[in-house]
Each structure stands twice: as structure tokens, then as C-alpha cells.
A and B are shown apart, each in its own frame.
Chain A
Amino acid sequence: MVRRPLVANKRSYHWVSDKICSICEDPAPLWWWFFTVVSFVLMMTCFALIGYQISTGVGVWGLNHPVGWAWDITNFVFWIGIGHAGTLISAILFLTRQKWRTSINRAAEAMTLFAVICAAIFPGIHVGRVWMAWYLAPIPNSNAIWQNFRSPLLWDVFAVSTYFTVSVLFWYTGLIPDLALLRDRAKNKIRKVVFGILALGWRGSNRQWSHYEKAYLILAGISTPLVLSVHSVVSFDFATSILPGWHTTIFPPYFVAGAIFGGFAMVLTIMLPARWVFGLHDMITQKHIDNMCKILVLTGTIVGYAYIMELFIAWYGGNPFEKFVFIKSRVSAPFWAVFGYLPFDWAQGIAKSLGTNYGPYWWAYWAMMSCNVISPQFLWFKKIRENPWLVWMVCMAINAGMWFERFVIIVTSLFRDFLPSSWGYFKPTWVDIWTFVGTFGLFLFLFLLFMKFLPMIAISEVKGVMPESDPHNHDHDPKKEGSHH
């Protein structure tokens, strides 16, 4: 079986450089302006609402007793999850020599950074006294009070900030040869100076390449455990607590798988339209889409396994509190609706054992199940994988499903916990909703700027996986000779 080439249509080095650099160099198309303005407005809405929340109080959100966290932390975990694919693609696929990563890693890494920025907003602003949030930083202070190193929330601060720092370094390091290319192609002074500074004097010498590749490898090595640790640590926020529905040992691997799952879905969600508008089909080929779809099937199935295992343990563990959260608050409603109305004793018995007062959030659970477990299964079919529209729709479902997953974990565990006297209900306010929508504005705004001003595909790396780069290339295909530039 012949491997499909990573760059289709036997494109030349020059074509690759030109194709990608021209996106940054040509005037921005009209649609870019349109989306940039829209996303800018959304971003400013987000900032305005954050200002409102900080000036007025956390009460402008729908939080209450007992639901102390809801959309704030849901959004945080959602965005931080999305921020996983980038570094996974750059680091783990790099170490495992998956060459197909080259045409998507740059955008995925950028996406990671922007997603982490969106994520970092929420733990920052969700606290009651934002102006005191620096207490989280282990800096010497006159009170001589240290942070509580037992708190997963503190681990979060360290994990996310480390992850962000390393991701930025990794991304920037990868950008250096391409920045130099942009500098070299620059036609005006400003570009020349700016890219000149950003390229850090890159000349493409062997010595530089040797250093560069070592640095890149080291950074990939550092990033790899971070990919696993960040979301594990985020999951500890829940797993180390005592709340039924949170207190679950399966969380770390399940969260990591979910993050990769959600991250890849977001990469596809963004790259499919980008590929279409910029005509990048020769670099982001069907092979790339196929590979990513397969990862979605794999991670989606792991996530599905985790969901089912949680349910099994809730039943097998015999803890009535945990059973209540999973069976009554989350899954029961549709089963009850089916069995409860059947005219058979056994059906009534099943319905009754599920409880007659199932939770009002059953729809969130089933939205999560259908989006995250059922929808990726379509990607088993080649026909579907080859239809970008269908793939994109599945990815959108997964994006929504992953948000619901976090909502289910957070809200449906909190709203009915140990003492029924304290049970409550959460409903978001307009501020909750528009702050979240606004973070999409921030995310898109940053991504649109990135697409416009930086090479969205790693030019030097793509060139590296083209047949011409293979020292033995000429042995097999002498006709290709002379295609270097």
C-alpha cells in the first residue's frame, strides 16, 4: 500500500512558502475584516461584563448556595481542555515522529495559547475578591502566610501557568525559521524591522539548525508530561473533593482523554474552514483529516468508556449518595420516561428504582452522551470522514458535548448533594451567557490576528516532510531533480 504523500499535488518548496506567506502579506480579505470586527465586539462585551462582575459582585452570575461554581469553572475546564490538542500535536506527535503533524501544528499551538488565555480568565475573575487574587502567588508577604499547598486549586495555578509558559516558548521557537522567512520576504521597512526582531537573527546556518532542533526536542520533551499533567491537575479540583460525582479516581485519565478529544475537535472546527478559504488542500490533506478523525474516534471511545465506568462504579460501589447523583440526577429521566409509562409491573419496578424525582438536568447529561459518545462513532465511516461538512458538524457536536460534560460534572453534582435541605437549582443569568459568548470573541479575534500576521502553517517543517527533503529522494525519483529553490 502506498502511503499518501503529506503534501499533495507534488508542490514545490516555493509554492509552499508563497502560499503561506502570501496570507500574511496580501491585504486582508473582506470576510476577515467582517469576522474580526464581530469577534472584537464580542471580546469587548466579555471584558465589559467582567468589569461589571468585578465592580458589582459574583451575584450577577446565577451562582448560589449550593451551586458555588457553574458556568465559570465549566468554561474554564472547557477552554483549558481545548488547549490540549496543540501541545499534544506539537510535542507528543513530534516525539513519536508523526510527520503529518507539520501542517497543523502551528495553528493548533496558536489555538492552544488562545484557548488557555480564554481559560485563564475564569479562575481569575470567578473569585469574590479579584483584587486579592495575588494571594494565590507564592510571593513573600508581610502576613507571612503561605499558600495552602494541599489545595488542588493552587496546583491548578501552577499547572496552568507552567503549561502556558512552555507552550508559548515552544510555539515561538517553532516560529523562528518562518519569521526569518517573512523578514526576508518583507517589502516594507516596518515588516522588515518587526520580523527582523522577532526572528532573533536567524540565518538558517547549520549551526543554528542544529541548536534549533535540539531546543525544539527538549521543549517537546518538557511539554509532553505537561499535556498529561495539566488536565490531570484540573481534574484533581474535582477528584480530590468529597462531593459525590466529583470524588472519582477515574477523573485524571478521563479528563486527559476528554481534553485531547475536545482539542482535536476544535482544531478541525477551525482548520476545515481555514483550509477552505485559503485553499490549503494540498497541505492539509484528506490524510490529515482522516488521522484527526481517527483520534476523535479513539478518544471519544475512551471518554465513553469513562462515562459508563462512572455509572458502573456508582452502582457497584453501593454508595447511595453517589448512586443518587449518577442514576437519579443524571441518567434516569429518559429511562423513567420509557419504563415508567409501560403497563408492566417489571417496568414500573425499574422506573421506581430509578426514582420518581429525577433531576431537572437530565437533558445536560444526555446532550453530553449523544454529542461525545454517539456522534464520533460516525467517523468510523470513510464516506463521512471524506465529507468535510459532516466532519465539521461532528466536531461542532463534540465541542458542545465537551462543554456539557463539564457542566454535568460541576452543576449536577453540586445542585443536589448530601443534605436534601440544601438542594437548589442553577440557572445562568444574561451575564453568565454573554461572558461565555464573549470568550469566543476573544478566541476568534486572537486567532484571526494570528492568521493574518503569522504563518499559520509551519513552513520549514512542512518542507521538511516533503519528498525533496529526503536525502534519498533523488535515488528513487530522478525526475524531481532541480526542484529545489
Chain B
Amino acid sequence: MKRVIQHPAPETTGRKYWRSLEELAESPAFQAELEREFPQGAAEFHGDDLSRRNFLRLMGASMALAGVGFAGCRRPEAYITPYRKSPEWAIPGRSLFYTTAMPRRKGAMPLMATTYDGRPTKIEGNPGLPGSRTATDAIAQASILDLYDPDRAKDVMAQGKPSTLEAFWKQLSDLRTQFAANKGAGLAILANVDSSPTRSRLKAELRAQFPAAIWAEYDPILAASSLESAQELLLGQGVTQAPLYDKAKVILSLDCDFLGFFDGTTDSIKKFADGRRVAKPGDGMNRLYAVENRYTLTGGMADHRLRLPASQIPAFTALLAKELEKTGLNLGLNGAADAIAKVSAKDDFKTKWIAELAQDLIRHKGSALVVAGSNQPVAVHVLTAAINSALDSYGTTISTVSAPTREAKSIQDLAAAIEAKSVQTLFVLGGNPVYDAPAELNWASLQKSVPQVIRSSYYRDESSTGAQWFVPTAHYLESWGDGLTPEGAYVCIQPTILPLFAGVSQLQILAALLGQPVAFGPQAVQETFRQISKNNSELAWNEFVHDGVLTGSSAKSLGAKPAIDRARTAISGSFASLGDKSLELVLVPSTSVEDGQFANNGWLQELPDTITKNTWGNAALVSPKTAKELGIESHVNKGIHYGKMVALTVNKRQITVPVLVAPGHADNSISLSLGYGRTQAGRAGNGVGFNAYPIRTSEAPYVMTGVSLKPTGEETDFALTQEHGAMEGRAIVREATSEAWAANPGFAKEQGIDGHQPYIEAVNPYTGQTEKTLPSIYKHPLMTGLNQWGMTIDLNTCVGCNACMVACQSENNIPVVGREQVQHNREMHWIRIDRYFAGPEGTPDENAVENPEMVMQPMACQQCENAPCETVCPVNATVHSEEGLNVMTYNRCIGTRYCANNCPYKVRRFNFFDYNKRPIHRTQVGLGPLKVESERPLYFGPLATRPEDEVELIKMQKNPNVTVRMRGVMEKCTYCVQRLEGAKIEQLARIKGSENHRLPDGVVKTACQQVCPAEAITFGNINDANSAVAKAKNDPRNYQVLAYIGTVPRTSYLARIRNPNPKMPDAISMGLISTPAGHEGEHGHESHDHTPHAADPHSAPAEGATSHGGSGH
């Protein structure tokens, strides 16, 4: 019998949206909820009550109310101005963008937050700003995860018991009355460093109201910097200098990692890349000299790199100054001649290196730039300024700009006041001094000795213990604020969501102390804006919030010149001589978790160190030679790297850390990153790595000499994401010197095994351009999509900063797997940065193991036209799209892993466990009453459930346009297909039925491309000959990795060009990581080994035996 399906009868009196809304709004329960909703709205999210359902319910209700004319609540009309286009209201499933900024120690980073239905999910750079535009760094990308951190502080606490914000405001008003009597004597505030002009304004008001109060600021990283005092000495107060890396032809970095984020910014990477980018031989590119003790990103990009202990940088600078003076350059250092005259280099190689460097600097007078690391002593900065001044760099490659002065006492002053018992009430706002204050202050007990401590921070961290009052700090995405970018532009911090928990901003606390209104709102910032912009109109304010930046507020060039005469007295005493053999310890911020404030961020903990590729922990880095001398070599056993534990003692202070051998590190020098060994960071950050702060003092916060090192006899394991550092003579990363490139523009296609392929000239069916290609016996059917996606990555500008890795993780919902899984090589990053060490044998100064060249290569799915993964999948889960994407159907995947095995680039990632559903960190596992604590809960499968707060919060970060993958499924880069499809839909809507729905070039960017400060990634439609990517593919440096297999990848690379100075003693060792396959008359079989002798810096006689190299073997 045929079955007739009966549809339910349609409702005759269908409920209308508005009617039901009115009903809802009139119900007493909802009215009550609304009452509590204002003004904080945070009440609903208290404690365990937070769930997605609850959240959405509130979101939905408040949105609806906004529509019928109630004052905005969760999406306040008055507070938030949407970015650029002004959509009427959010369309479910479509994103809205809001400009905002992230406060950082060196200034605010202008951002644009992507929100879906009121949830911020992704961070981008604010494209409205000049400079690095859409670029950000890894930390800014990862900051979105902090917003949804289940471990963030949620409750106001008074005397260790839960309290309310109302009680806290009352406490502050009581304090105000109390201190009004004695002008603030006994009141002290210790705050983190922040660029906010509003905070400065409130600080000034505070000073006026309570002149006797102490305002101190402390930042553990900036505390090591002498740059500010040096610039004050050289340029006067309120003036700072900004190196123009794009203008310089020759750059010398003296321990200045301006391509990292501590001496540099995204803008400095962009400027450097601009000066580095080349399209054809003969294009001028800059030349970079780097002198540093450990490999940094800057050293990796250098054309000439000298390994030198950080304590010998002053001597090197002095020698360079001497050499420059010898050649007749007047540095104006007359008074300091003595100190410099005494310096000498004992080493022929270094003498020659300095002499040739000096010559090159002089040759490029007017386009040379010398930069010194901010942590180097004032003398180095004065010498550097003298050199720059003599080379006419000021005004050409260095601009001087005004900078706000930081009027604050130091933490040492505050400590003295506390010791003198003159502090009754201490505010500790932000920062984490108990963890990171200078060791000699013994801050933990100092803070305890203060009668009343009021603490506001994002986490209940080390410094929150024992505080009488604790107030959670709001995330920057949930509070109003402002800031100045490192370039001096005035930017707005706009909330994109109301505080998820009872968080307040520092500005609110200061306002409360001043007796001003504390409501969540922009009033305080608006007031500052009016003062700065001198414009009272609402329109100007709206524009400011909309654009995120005050137009024309960037610092103007002042044209100041350094006063060497005034400063040269700073060059005194004697310099440690070059070649000194005493052991030094250098403390640097981690490239992942910085000073430790991001320790609970899983993305950052799992983000490999840019050089060592170490995750979830830190290590003391030493050179292979020093390790051998001291008997502390690291080794590999069954795929896991082990390091010896050593006790480091400086001035009777001792820490125990593991040693990882690092190729390219200076001898007799130890580098150790800060930011690890947290005890109250949260479930991700607790007990990860080793804390270096206990030996870090105010006197020597950066370089410590007189270090003694003693192996404890124990070992510890590391979780490295890359275990083998040598290229094994394979031309994977290709490079040539600028000379070799000029001699053979097409070198990139001829290296390695490709040098023996019979390339033919053929027309690329997509780009229409004639190009050298490999012949194929199989004619692949053409893909018919209008857009044929392709990508190029310029290895000449990629510095390897890791920003793309986190951007991808954030965009594509990539899970964190934890330390133990990283050790099993199960990390999930869709894009990774491969780092290779190599160097030809017989480098003049040292051998290749000690001083190798370092190159970076971002590696993600190459979207092969002949994808080897597709043919082997038995269930058709990975197939090719008409637009040239190698697409992955997660629902269809059964997880045979055959595709990953057959992928020559090893970019496919398999979900070995249910990383999204199961707990990763130590937790309770078991059923009912049978519960045990486990370090490896993943291995308990269904017996381990992820804590509810983790699940509920973290899923709010997920990009709704990307599937969250379950276990047993393969995943990989898709060129951000969700963005491509989104852009296509928008284009179709725009053209309304017209035939031409090809996307204009540049309207769609992949997450990695968008974030890249160096703009090394070009992406677009290769079917469009005018697109940037089609042009890049036509670059003579264009090559495909492993082209010989015939995979025809859509991602190709532009070979790297090194620009060595041929006269330098180490010129021969640069740019030879893969030597050109000289075809001259040798076609025999043995000529296949054209590439490298790239000596393996990590060669070890046997597995299990000692290997050199942190990342060796």
C-alpha cells in the first residue's frame, strides 16, 4: 500500500514574532531578569550558571528588545559601532566586525574582532591603520582563547570569601574617604605598564587628589630594557627613535631581535620585509648583519651572523666604533676614547668581520642602520647612536618621534616604601609581581606585610593569594579602553561582548577611587578622546570607535638628533673583551608565553618556540661545543629528546633547569626563557617548564655573568614538534646569493633532483602564462571553476614568527593536544613552520654543527592538482574541487590514515583522540564513586569527561563556519574554504545575476595570509593573469617543493635570496643551503647529489646515542 504522508495542518493563527516578544517582555520573570541585567548583565553568567543555552537565550532576548525600542543591553546601540558597513542588525550566521585594540607592554595593538551572534571568535589586525594593517602576532591571535579560559577569575572575593561588585565599590568609596584626610599617604598602586591615555589622565587626577600616594609601574620585560633611559639621555625626555627598516640598505643588529616581538613589532617585520622583497635580479634588497648570542628570527634572516655572548656586545660595538673611527668617520666620542681604546679582539676572524662590516656601513652612509637590543647597556645605545649619527642615519633610516613619558615610580621604590611600613593599602593592578618581580625584593613576603592588598587581575594567580580584596579584571574584548600604538597612533579599545564574569577594567577601579561613575561604558574614554582630539562632536567619537583609530594621530617625525656629547659619559669603565671564556646566562622572554602572563593559553603553550620548536616548556640553550665541554649534551631516545638537568647558580640564587643543545648558539653562553614554571596559572599552565625568575635580579635582569653550572644527574624530556633539523641534502628550501641569482635567474627550478628533470616550456592552462614545467604522460582534465585558487609563499620575506600557526588554529577550530601528545608527534597544526639548519662543510670560522645557517619554511597542505591523498582514500572522503582545492569531507572520513601516509608533505593531521570532547590536562577520571586523578585522561576514553566549564566556554570561541572534528577523522588546511565560499556568496549577492561572478583579486584572504606581518603569503585566483598570485607564480624564483613527484602543488614557494657581502670572511657560507645544480657538462649518475653537502648538524652515530643539537636528529 502506498503510504501517504500526512503533514500537520498549518497553524491558522500563527504566532507572530512581535506578539510573542511582547508576551515574553511582559512576563514578570523576564522583567525581573531584565532588572538584574542592567547595567552589568554579568549576573547571569555567575559561577556555574554559564551555559551556551543560557548565553544564547540572553543574547536572543536582548537583541529582540533592542529591536522594539528598549535601550540596548547585550548589544548596546550606544556603545558599539559596527565596523565600516553598518548592518541593520546581526544576521544569524554572519559575522560582524568591531575595531578594538589589545593593550601590550609596548603599546596597544590595533585589532578588528570578528563576532558571530555576539561572540567574538577571531582577531585580525585593524586594516584601517597604516603600517602592518591586517597583521598581528601570535599572542594577539591567541588572546581570543583567554577570553573563554575556564580558569579565568570569575568572582569578587573579600577576605577569601565570595563577595559582590557592589561591596567592592563601597570598599573603594570608603577608602577614598579614608585617604582624603591624609592626601593619600599610605596608599600605593602597583600597576602593569600600559599605554592608555585614559589611564594616564586618571592617574594624573589621582595624583592631584592624593598627592602622597605612590603610583608604581612594573613590567618584567621592560624592566630589563635600558633603551628608554638611553634615549632620554640622547634625545631628551619625551622623544624616542623609530628605525625605518624599509629605508635601510644595510642593517646591523647588535643583539636586537627586531623581527621577534620583544625588540620589534609587526610593523618592524613589515618594514624589514619591504626592504627585502625582490622581484627580479638586481632589485635592491637590504643586507642584514646580526650579532647575537642565540639564534633569533633576526639572526635567521641575517646575511651575516656572528655568534657572540650577549655580555660581549658592548665590546663588539666599541670595536666597531674604533674601526669606523680608524677609517676617518668622526663619531664624536672624544671623551670616551679611553674605554674604547682598551678593547681588543683576540680573534682574526672577528677582526676581519668587523673591518669588512665597517667598510660596508661606510659605503652605505645615509642608508645604513645600526640597531641595538633594548636590553643592552646604555653604553651600547650611546655608541650605536654615535655610529648612526656619523652614518647620517638620523632623518634617513631613523626617525625621531615624540613619545609619552611614563611617570611612575619603580617597583624598587615601592618596595622600599613597603619596607618602611609606610604603605597601608596596596593596589596590585594587573601584572604578577609575586611571580615575576626582581628576586632580591622578595615580593611575596613584602606584599604579605602590607595590611590591605587589593588585587585585580585576569587570573587568581600567584599575586592574588592572600589579597584582602580580589576583583577579576575584564578581558580587553569586554571592556572600554584606549591606547597608543608603538607608532604613537591613538586607538580605541571597544568591547565586543559584555563581561562574561564579574570583570571590571582598571579604568573602572581608578574611576571608583576618584569618586567618578564606575558604570560599564565609554564615558571615561570619551572624555580622554575629547581632550586629545579637541573635538566634542558625537560624530567624531563615533568615527573613532568605528575606525578604531583617531585619524592623523600617529606620531610626527621631530627631526631630532642625538646629543652624543651629553651622553658619552655613559661610556665608561671597561668592556668585557671579545673571546672571554666565562659563562654567562641570558634571560629572554619566551616566544610563546612571553613573560608568563599567557601561560594558561593552550594555543601558545603548544605553539613551538620559533627556533628550538620546543612546546609546553622551556630549556636552557647552550652551544654544542659548550655542552660537550660541560658534559651536558642532550640526546634522543626512541624519538624523544632528553636534556640533562643542571643547577644554575648566580649570586647564591639557584634554579634547576634542563639543557637543550642549540646549534648556532654562542659558546660559553646560556639562554633561558622566562615565563614558565607557573604555580597558579590554571589547568594548562601550572607546572609547565621551569621558572627562571628566582635568579633574576634588578641588577642583572638580562645578562648574568659569574654563573656556575652543575649537572644534577637527572634528565627530563622535551616535547619538540620538529625532531630533525637537517635537510639531508634535499632541496626543500631553496636559496641562492644575489650574485648567483643574477647569474642564473631560474636557479630555483634547477636545484636538487629537479635539476635533472627535462623541463619543458609550456603554457599553464590556468594562468595562460608560458612557464617551465615538468612533462607529464598523463593529461589531467582541466578544472573548470572560475576561481582557481593558488598560493605562493615568499621565503625571502617569511621570518618564521609563528603568527600564521595561531591564526590558523583560531580560524579553523584546531584543538590543543597537550604535551604528552606532542611528544607522540600528534600535534594538530594545519600550518607549521619547518626550521632547518644547514651549512656547507668547512665554513671558515667554525664547523657547520656549531654555526649553521637557519632557514624557515611554512608548510601547509599544498593543494596538489594531482593529489596523492585523493587517489588512495577508499571512501572518497578527500576529493578535488573544481576550483583546485583538495577538499576534505569530515563526515565521510573513516580514518584509514592512508592519505596521510601518502602525503609527501606530511601536512595531514589525524585526530588520534577526541581532543575536543575529552580532557587534555590532569583531571579526574572514572565512573561514579570510582574516580582517580590522571595525568593522561585522554587514554581513559569515555571514562574521562571534559569538565563542563571547559566545554561550555571553549566552544564559544569556535568558528561556526568550520566543522569541529571528532576523533578518528583526518583534517588539514583547506585554504580557509569557509572564507572562499563566504566571499563567493557575497560576490553573487553583489553582482545580482550577472555572469561574472569571479572574485576580484584580493577580496578574500586566508587566515595565514591575513595575519602575516611580512606579507610573505600571496593567495588568489591563478586563473586571473592579473592577480597578485598569478604574477608571483611567474616570478623566476617560483618553485614547487618536491616537484619531481608530479603532485603539481598549487602552493609554491619563492626561493630565498641571500645578499652577502662578498668580502666578508664568512661570505662563502651564506646562501648555500642548497647549491645550484651546475649542469655544466655533468650528467652522470653521481651528479644527482648536487645539493648540499648540507652537513648534518645533528648527525649522531646511532639512535639512542648522543646527538648534537636541540633539534637534532
Binding site for B on A (CB under 8 A): 52, 55-60, 62-66, 68-69, 126-130, 132-133, 135-136, 143, 145-148, 150-154, 157, 237, 240-243, 318-321, 324, 333, 340, 356-360, 414, 416-427
Contact = CB atoms under 8 A, between A and B. Distances in A.
Given A151-B873, A320-B753, A419 B824 contact: no
Contacts of A426: 639
B782 to A, nearest CB: 19
Contact of B730 (A154, A357, A418): A418
A135 B1088 contact: no
Contacts of B1047: 242
A52 B941 contact: yes
Contacts of B875: 135-136, 145, 147-148
A55 to B, nearest CB: 5
Interface string B639-677: 110000000000000000000000000000000000000
Contacts of A65: 825-827, 900, 906, 908-910
A339 to B, nearest CB: 13
B901 A58 contact: no
Interface in B954-981: 966-970
B872 interface: yes
B902 interface: yes
A128 B872 CA distance: 16
Contacts of B753: 319-321
A66 B1088 contact: no
B904 A356 contact: no
Interface in B671-692: none
A68 B900 contact: yes
Interface of B: 638-640, 722-730, 732, 752-753, 821, 824-827, 832, 834-836, 857, 859, 868, 870-876, 892-898, 900-902, 904-906, 908-914, 938-942, 966-970, 1041-1042, 1045, 1047, 1085, 1088-1089, 1096, 1098-1104, 1113
B895 A58 contact: yes
B868 A241 contact: yes
B872 A133 contact: no
A95 B938 CA distance: 55
A356 B914 contact: no
B723 A153 contact: no
Given A356-B1099, A420-B724, A424-B723, A55 B941 contact: yes
B942 A55 contact: yes
A65 B724 CA distance: 14
Nearest to A150: B871
Contacts of B1102: 333, 358, 360
Given A419-B730, A419-B1042, 6 more contacts: A59-B826, A128-B967, A135-B894, A357-B1096, A420-B730, A424-B723
A329 to B, nearest CB: 11
B610 to A, nearest CB: 14
5 contacts: A153-B874, A157-B874, A421-B724, A424-B825, A425-B723
Contacts of A126: 896-897
Nearest to B1104: A360
Contacts of B872: 150-153, 240-241
B895 A127 contact: yes
Contact of B901 (A60, A69, A147, A360): A69
B836 A421 contact: yes
A63 B910 CA distance: 10
Contact of B906 (A128, A135, A321, A419): A419
Contacts of A358: 1102
Contacts of A320: 729-730, 752-753, 1088-1089
Nearest to B897: A68
A133 B913 contact: no
Given A56-B940, A64-B825, A152-B872, A128 B911 contact: yes
B723 A127 contact: no
A356 B1101 contact: yes
A305 to B, nearest CB: 23
Nearest to B731: A320
Given A56-B942, A154-B874, A418-B905, A425 B638 contact: yes
B493 to A, nearest CB: 39
A147 B826 contact: no
Nearest to B940: A56
A69 B901 CA distance: 8
B825 A66 contact: yes
A146 B725 CA distance: 42
Nearest to A66: B906
A427 B639 contact: yes
B730 A321 contact: yes
A69 B897 CA distance: 7
A440 to B, nearest CB: 25
B901 A324 contact: no
A360 B640 CA distance: 13
A240 B900 CA distance: 14
4 smallest A-B Cβ distances: which pairs? A128-B895, A128-B968, A425-B639, A56-B941
B865 to A, nearest CB: 14
B433 to A, nearest CB: 40
A332 to B, nearest CB: 11
B895 to A, nearest CB: 2
Given A57-B913, A129-B969, A427-B638, A420 B906 contact: no
A319 B640 CA distance: 30
A325 to B, nearest CB: 11
Contacts of B906: 65-66, 417-419, 422
Nearest to B1041: A419
A420 B1042 contact: no
A147 B904 contact: no
A128 B894 contact: yes
Contacts of A63: 897, 912
A425 B900 CA distance: 15
Contacts of B970: 128
A419 B941 contact: no
B939 to A, nearest CB: 6
A60 B894 contact: no
Contact of B835 (A60, A62, A143, A421): A421
Nearest to A59: B912
Contact of A151 (B857, B898, B901, B967): B898
A419 B732 contact: yes
A424 B942 contact: no
A357 B725 CA distance: 12
Nearest to A55: B941
B892 A145 contact: yes
Given A360-B1103, A418-B730, A425-B639, A59 B876 contact: no
Nearest to A415: B639
A112 to B, nearest CB: 24
Contacts of A242: 868, 902, 904, 1045, 1047
Contact of A66 (B727, B835, B836, B900): B900
A136 B874 contact: yes
B722 A421 contact: yes
A129 B968 contact: yes
Contact of A420 (B726, B873, B874): B726
The listed residue with most A CB atoms (<10 A of its CB), out of B723, B826, B906, B1100, is: B906
A240 B871 CA distance: 9
B894 A133 contact: yes
Given A65-B825, A321-B730, A324-B728, A129 B894 contact: yes
B902 A241 contact: yes
Contacts of B836: 420-421
Nearest to A316: B1085
Contacts of B824: 59, 62, 64
B904 A417 contact: yes
B639 A128 contact: no
Contacts of B1098: 357
A356 B970 CA distance: 35
Contacts of B870: 148
A19 to B, nearest CB: 48
A214 to B, nearest CB: 37
The listed residue with most B CB atoms (<10 A of its CB), out of A52, A56, A63, A319, is: A56
